Amino acid sequence: MTVKITILGDTHIRNFEELPREMMIEIEDSDWVIHVGDYVSLDVLEGLIKLKGDRFKGVYGNADPKDIRNRVNTKEVIEISGKKIGITHPACGGPSEIIETQVLTEFNKVNVDIIIYGHTHEAKISQEGNTWLINPGKGYLETNYFGPPTTIVILKVDEKIRGDIKEINS
């Protein structure tokens, strides 16, 4: 059976209702939801937990306040459909290559199949050896900015792993 996972992060919004409509459709249609941190508001975290229950997993990011840090960890390792998944939000910045090296090092003793991370606001799916590296990108809509688009990753897992970056426009 194929499991659909919606991955988002770096939402940087004040309340759950600000999540883009297209994103909410994917969240509601998914078996699991993973958030890679920088919710910024406890209301966003609580909304996702209320919606998905124990099929929500998340970590906190460098921009998250204490009330969020008290509810989720800085790093998680979970298993879905026999695949071991590491989730994190690096605290320090730098080029994507440096961040990818950091997250690979962070999970090198755990033998994960997938590492999901945030912080860069730039969506990316790649592989390093047998490990998938997934960054869902920026999770909020902007109207007056020419940076990276708003994106999520739709991950489908069964005996194989397949991921697609989905641009969100509304």
Residue 93 pLDDT > 70, yes or no? no
**Looking at residue 156, what is its pLDDT?**
97
Q: How confident is the model at residue 114 (pLDDT cuts 50, 70, 90)?
A: very high
Q: Calculate the average pLDDT of the chain.
A: 94
**Looking at residue 91, what is its pLDDT?**
79
Extract the tokens encoding 110: 């755990």
Question: Looking at the 3D structure of the chain, how many domains does it have?
Answer: 1
**Looking at residue 94, what is its pLDDT?**
64
Task: Specify the CATH number for the domain of residue 154.
Answer: 3.60.21.10
How far are the Cα atoms of 23, 31, 32, 34 from residue 2, in angstroms, in the given order?
A: 20, 10, 12, 17
Show the domain range for 14: 3-167
**Looking at residue 52, what is its pLDDT?**
98
Angle of helix 42-52 versus helix 21-29 axis, rounded to 10: 40
Q: How confident is the model at residue 144 (pLDDT cuts 50, 70, 90)?
A: confident
Residue-by-residue DSSP string for 51-64: HHGGGEEEB--TT-
**Looking at residue 83, what is its pLDDT?**
96
Residue 63 pLDDT > 80, yes or no? yes
**Looking at residue 98, what is its pLDDT?**
81
Q: How confident is the model at residue 59 (pLDDT cuts 50, 70, 90)?
A: very high
Residue 29 pLDDT > 80, yes or no? yes
C-alpha 35: how far from chain center = 4
